[in-house]
Structure 1
Amino acid sequence: MSLFKAETRRLSKRRFTRFSVLLALLVLGLVAGGVTLTNHKVGPAALAEAQASADRDFQEQSALSAQEKQRCAERPADYPEGCDAIWTPTREDFRAENYVGSQFDFRENYPAMVITFAALLALIAFIIGASFVGAEWNSGGMMNLLLWRPQRLRVLSTKLSALMAGLTGLAVVAGAVWTGIFWVIAMQRGTTERMTSGAWQSIGLMGLRGLGLVLAAGAIGFGVASIGRHTAAALGAAIGVIVVFQFGLGVVLQLAQARFADLYLLPTWIAAWMFKSYEVTDYNAPCVFSANGCEPPTYTLTWQMSGGLFLALSIIIVGAAMWTIRKRDIT
């Protein structure tokens, strides 16, 4: 059996891997169940009832507005802003769509589900990647494997390749099922209208970016655990990043009134990667005059910039793992 097949088999047979995948699927199932329960199909009867409610509210508000204007005409001193400032309801303010219950619009709502799927799978990929190599360092399995295959870089790179292949297969299969589930939900509890080829292409590209996020998380978890030679090293680093660099750094930047403070936070870069761009607003800086008046300055973070950051982090951490296994003693 080749080393790649052996590592792929070892990855798929590990109880921790199976438990992590099962936990992720359980959470995804709960999300899908919640979306199903909170949405329903809007039929002609429900739409007619919503239209009646909208008409009724429009008439009531129109009557109240007329009464208010009558009082204004009789006692103008009580209305310093004038009678014209009194709100006059229009039909556009009382549309039937605002009176129907929530329904799952696949084109509008499914991108958020792609984000949910990618974020959860990225977390699981980080944990699986860290455990896959960290457990072998901790148990001595890596030393035994290197006695059989005394090629350090080849062994570690093959492990990483098996991890990347396994995560890709999991993300593709689970992503296809995830899409199918929400397509059925949209058909039964919402609408699939306006799903053009361009809309499908946009969703597909978002899915590919989600796959990239999953693979980057898995590679980073793998690399950190290999450098620390323990699963806890990667988990500790992750906790440190979240506590120190996210919450702690966020508070410090806000207190210091730093410019574009959100640029230093990881969720901003993830949002830019998944949504193709993310606009960061600096509320601490003087406003900038524009056609819409004086507005706070903004900075647009693009998916190319965030993708470059994640790629660089992955290369640096995995490269450091390759360097350490080549230079350090195997003990």
Structure 2
Amino acid sequence: MLRLTKVELRRLFARRMIKVGVSGLFLITALLMFATWLEARPASESEQRAAQQQYEFAHREWVSNHVTNEAQCKADWVKQPDPKPKVEDMCAYPEPKLEEFGRPQQVYAEVMPQQLLGLSYLLLFAAFVLGASFLAAEFSTGAIGNWLTFEPRRLRVYGSKLLAAAIGLLPVALVVFTVAMLGSYLIIDQLGNTATTTGKVWGDLAATAGRAVVLTALGAALGGVAGLLLRHTAAALGVAMGYLVLVEAIFGNLLVKVQPWLIKLNFDAFVRHDTTYYVNQCASSSDGGYLCNSIEKTLTFEHGAWYLGILAVVLLLLGGAVFHRRDVS
């Protein structure tokens, strides 16, 4: 098995699409660093003047209306159905501050977690496509039939190919996340604020990146399964895009209660170590109206880990069963 995996790794990195895909990932990472620099630049003089004008206008409005607005909000709060937020939270109208206007200063501890999540989406998608192309090419060229004449034990061939796809994308993901974390830190340290970047923050960021690396490897393996089942990279990509549009975007938005069973939210829960989502809770009010509150709920890391783990095992077993029994010609 180890010998087969080494051979598959060499074949993986010999493919042109893998080289192009990995180069594209590094290019996107460089562009991300450039975008971070653009966001972290201090505001220009014209932007500072505009921010000052916006602040002065907002402050005048606050002085004139905040008492009336708070009184009206408290009257509306009484009519809200239970459960309702605290009146202090719902009806807070704090005095505007100048630093709230204009371009905010970039804070590394606040920017980086979202940046890592966005990178994890990119790497998962890229790994899925590259893994699918790796195995689909074996069928479209007929190479899989020739390979099975040298190694007829199909499950060993199946396992070695998926393992090579997963292992091959691991160092790529590690480099991308390392460059992103350190590059962004150096940029924001010069132009923004890194004072809140404590040891705990570094530990949390490293753990987030580590979980994303694991899912990148898993995505490459599952992409390989899709390539094996569909025998064409475009078909695997079409299925993935169809799922994202029809299930995640349309079905998930129409039926918000199914969100805990969608892949994206469980992916977020695993990478971020818990995530939140919102559902609407509606009830009739005493005056005959119909009011809705948006309730925040938490999807735990454990739920995401079990969900993704079970889904991966089912798909890997399905792929193995199909490859073991189906004609490869």
TM-score, length-normalised on structure 2?
Answer: 0.78
> One-letter code of the match for 1:312?
I
Q: Is the aligned partner of 1:219 residue 2:198?
A: no
Please, which of 183, 186, 190 is the counterpart of residue 184 of structure 1? 186
Could you tell me which residue of structure 2 aligns to residue 11 of structure 1? Answer: 12
Could you tell me which residue of structure 1 aligns to residue 120 of structure 2? Answer: 118
Mapped to 2, the partners of 1:58 and 1:248 lie a distance apart of 38
Mapped to 2, the partners of 1:239 and 1:54 lie a distance apart of 42
Mapped to 1, the partners of 2:127 and 2:187 lie a distance apart of 27
> One-letter code of the match for 2:117?
I
Q: Is the aligned partner of 1:238 residue 2:240?
A: yes
Mapped to 2, the partners of 1:167 and 1:316 lie a distance apart of 22
Aligned residues: 301
Mapped to 2, the partners of 1:284 and 1:111 lie a distance apart of 30
Mapped to 2, the partners of 1:128 and 1:245 lie a distance apart of 23
Mapped to 2, the partners of 1:319 and 1:267 lie a distance apart of 22
Mapped to 2, the partners of 1:211 and 1:22 lie a distance apart of 18
Please, which of 281, 299, 321 is the counterpart of residue 301 of structure 1? 299
Please, which of 164, 167, 173 is the counterpart of residue 171 of structure 1? 173
Mapped to 2, the partners of 1:51 and 1:271 lie a distance apart of 35
Mapped to 1, the partners of 2:310 and 2:59 lie a distance apart of 61
Unaligned runs of 5+ in 1: 73-80, 83-91, 288-293
Mapped to 2, the partners of 1:285 and 1:212 lie a distance apart of 39
3-state DSSP of counterpart to 1:270: helix
1:208 Cα deviation (Å)? 1.6
* More off after superposition, 231-240 vs 189-198: 231-240
Unaligned runs of 5+ in 2: 73-93, 285-291
Mapped to 1, the partners of 2:59 and 2:155 lie a distance apart of 76
Map Cα deviations across residues 162-206 of structure 1 (whole Å, 9 max, x no partner). 111111111112211111110111112212112211111111111
Could you tell me which residue of structure 1 aligns to residue 134 of structure 2? Answer: 132
* More off after superposition, 52-61 vs 315-324: 52-61
1:96 Cα deviation (Å)? 4.6
Map Cα deviations across residues 86-110 of structure 1 (whole Å, 9 max, x no partner). xxxxxx7343532563332111111
Could you tell me which residue of structure 1 aligns to residue 163 of structure 2? Answer: 161
Mapped to 2, the partners of 1:262 and 1:221 lie a distance apart of 23
Please, which of 143, 146, 150 is the counterpart of residue 144 of structure 1? 146
**More contact order relative to length (CA 8 Å, sep ≥ 6):** 2
Mapped to 2, the partners of 1:125 and 1:190 lie a distance apart of 33
Mapped to 1, the partners of 2:29 and 2:258 lie a distance apart of 32
Could you tell me which residue of structure 1 aligns to residue 36 of structure 2? Answer: 35
Mapped to 1, the partners of 2:18 and 2:310 lie a distance apart of 27
3-state DSSP of counterpart to 2:179: helix
1:319 Cα deviation (Å)? 1.1
The percentage of aligned residue pairs carrying the same residue is 25
3-state DSSP of counterpart to 1:283: strand
Matches within 5 A, 1:300-319: 300-319=298-317
CA RMSD of superposed structures (Å): 3.7
Matches within 5 A, 1:274-289: 274-286=271-283
Compare CA radii of gyration and give the structure with the larger one.
1
